[in-house]
Copies of this chain bind each other. A is one copy, B any other.
Amino acid sequence: MADVVDKNEPEIPLEELRLMFTRQDGFMKTLGADIIDIGPGTATVRMAVSKDHLNFNGSCHGGCIFALADCAFGVSSNTHGVMAAGIDAHITYQAAAYVGEILTARSREISRSRKIATYRIEVESENNGLIASFTGTVYIIGIPHSPEAR
């Protein structure tokens, strides 16, 4: 949806944004998740399931699967150079994931107006197909991201 992006938004190179988000995001470190790709309105975040991610029934915690998707959601919605904050999110769980599986969350923008944008994220397992489907909406605060200011 690059055509609807405000042309006046400050332009920080996407690779610089990726490094900045990686450096500054404590929760992504806690999860052990990495931003492996970033584009205008898109992001891919990856994580290997370990015992630190399991629930008491022995599979990857639903909250952890959501958190991975939410990382991709947060990154993709902040790629236009200005801050955006989550308003709401919905997830459906399609299959369980277990220790050793590599989970990849891919986010893409499905709409973006001046103040509101919506994203769809799929979480997939390398060996096991679709794990979860996520839809999230942000409010575009509009304050520029600035490496210097941070």
Using a CB–CB distance below 8 Å, which chain A residues touch chain B? 20-21, 24-31, 50-58, 60-64, 66-71, 73-74, 78, 83, 85-96, 110-111, 115-116, 118, 120, 130, 133, 135, 137, 139
A63 to B55, CA, bound (A): 16
Interface of chain A, main secondary structure: mixed
**A86-B78 contact in complex given A21-B56, A53-B26, C-beta closer than 8 Å:** no
Collect the chain B residues with CB atoms within 8 Å of residue A63's CB: 27, 31, 66-71, 74
A29 to B133, CA, bound (A): 25
Residue ID in chain B nearest A96 by CB atoms: B85
A118 to B21, CA, bound (A): 29
